[in-house]
Structure 1
Amino acid sequence: MFNLANKITMFRVLLVPFVVVLLYFPSETTCLLAFFLFFLASLSDLVDGFVARREGMVTSFGKFLDPLADKLLICSVLIMLVELGWAPAWVVITIICRELIVTGLRAMAADEGIVIAADKYGKMKTVLQMFALSPMIIHYPLFGYDVAVIGEILLYIALILTVFSGGNYLFGFYKNWLQQDEPK
């Protein structure tokens, strides 16, 4: 349970409160620090998966913790961006609702012995959300450029992919559920 890959994932979870606190007191310095920690946490998402697969450290705990860590990181930052007035609430609500629905579906499926793994759209969604949130966290002009606008555009693209991947999970869950109900 406490292998290297899972420790890296737990490190990502531990970074979340620091990112939130830094964003709670926004300035150019705190936003850059929050970005650095968010970037480090996002990078750890790639590293933990690589380590787990390469070293044969894939565990049930890791399969549970890794997507949870992603959701904690992304949803916490999204909520702070709404609090700061830097992101539209309806976008954040849509993204968080999708995350709750997919998590609920996974829990129901697991109860039936069905594993619904992250698919390529879910993984792409997470990466795109991380790319979108990074410039939104920086928020202040960087080298004379308003990077937050880039983040906002990417956030809307991520929203579309988020809704699509959520629909894909719903379809997959429904299909698996029908197969379970077929007489044998």
Structure 2
Amino acid sequence: MNIPNILTSVRIFMIPILVAVYYLPWEGRYYTCAFIFAVAAITDWLDGFLARKLNQMTPFGAFFDPVADKLMVSVALVMLVASYSNPLLTLASAVIVGREIVISALREWMAEMGKRASVAVSYIGKLKTTMQMLAIFILLGTQPGTLWAHVGETVLVVAALLTLWSMYIYLKAAWPELMSKQSGEN
């Protein structure tokens, strides 16, 4: 274990804490959940930065880091969908989670084909992630129905649109391999 992998592991262990705090009957839960999520988002950036800076990239970290990120985001979105009862927020959340499943499968398949670089993270993907993290931070930190909740919902919809755009970019890059007769199963 190295520092980046420890940070990734901490992010996984923060998930049940986030869920427990979110459902506590306590007014401070919103700010606390936003803080927990912010720390998780910072560790997501920090573990990658440190892995590259300290030359501590490992197969475990390469696998576990995106899993930790997707778990934290998915759990937060599920909690928010349950609390907000807003069809637009639900649709945006479904788009975000659905895209993660599609792109994860696509990256795995492209890696098997030896073409993982074709679906490397793009600028739009990074922007999508930033907007998504910001939206979740805002939504976790406010009560449903407030002005800030509406701001968070709007940011989440923008993140969902960027999600669709980034998925299009990835699928377009992989399309020749997906349509190739030599790629495997049809």
| TM-score, normalised with respect to structure 2 | 0.86
- Deviation readout 1:74-97 (Å, 9 max, x if unpaired): 111000001112553222111111
Task: Say whether 1:172 aligns with 2:150.
Answer: no
| 1:73 pairs with 2:72 | yes
What is the correspondence of 1:79-158 to structure 2 with a 5 Å cutoff? 79-85=78-84, 87=86, 88-115=89-116, 116-140=119-143, 146-158=147-159
Aligned amino acid, residue 35 of structure 1: A
Rounded Cα–Cα distance in structure 1 between residues aligned with 2:94 and 2:25 = 22
RMSD over aligned CA atoms reads 2.2
SS of equivalent to 1:77: helix
Distance 1:61 1:172 in 2: 27
Deviation at 1:171, TM superposition (A): 1.3
What's the CA shift string for 1:93-132, capped at 9, x where partnerless? 1111111101111121222233243222222211110001
Separation (CA, whole Å) in 2 of partners of 1:118 and 1:135 = 25
SS of equivalent residue, structure 1 residue 28: coil
Q: 1:61 corresponds to which residue?
A: 60
Equivalence for 2:8: 9
Tell me the equivalent position of 1:36.
35
Q: Is the 8 A contact 1:140 1:146 kept in 2?
A: no
Q: TM-score, normalised by structure 1?
A: 0.86
Specify whether residues 16 and 149 from structure 1 end up closer, same or farther in structure 2 by C-alpha distance, changes over 3 A only.
Answer: same
2:162 aligned partner: 161
Which stretch has the larger CA shift, 112-121 or 31-40? 112-121
Structure 1 unmatched runs, 5+ = none
Greater displacement, 111-120 / 90-99: 111-120
One-letter amino acid of the counterpart of residue 138, structure 1 = G
What is the identity, as a one-letter code, of the residue corresponding to 1:89? T
Tell me if the contact between 1:70 and 1:126 (Cα under 8 Å) persists in the aligned partners. Answer: no
User: Which segment is superposed worse, 42-51 or 114-123?
Assistant: 114-123
Q: Secondary structure at the match of 1:84?
A: helix
Cα distance in structure 2, aligned partners of 1:64 and 1:174: 24
Structure 2 portions without partners, runs of 5+: none
CA distance in 2, matches of 1:166, 1:133: 20
Letter of the 1:137 counterpart: L
8 Å contact from structure 1 (residues 39, 134) kept in 2: yes
Q: Where does structure 1 differ by over 4 angstroms across 4 or more consecutive aligned residues?
A: 176-182
